[in-house]
Amino acid sequence: MAKAKAKPTKVTNEELKTIQEYVTAINKTQMDVGGLAYQQQVGIQKIATLQDKLNEFNVGLQKKYGKVSVNINDGTLKETSNEPVN
């Protein structure tokens, strides 16, 4: 009767190294994604703050020039109507 071959109790060093590399890459990528999510939140908050500042500035311009739009390329003013746009 043939002797049964013993089952391995460990992966090879090369297999272990490959597993460790994949796990390390996954962990790094998860950290990178977390960092990007944080940067996105900071960017969204910055946009909101800048929009608030622009709105405040526009209120001052409206008091000075009336209901006008400003061409952001050359600074020219154009009167705007109070009629709603369809």
Residue 43: the pLDDT is: 98
Question: For the segment 28-76, what is each residue's pLDDT rounded down to a tens digit?
Answer: 999 999 999 999 999 999 999 999 999 999 999 999 999 999 999 999 9
Amino acid (1-letter code) at residue 3: K
Report the distance separating Cα 78 and Cα 70, nearest Å: 7
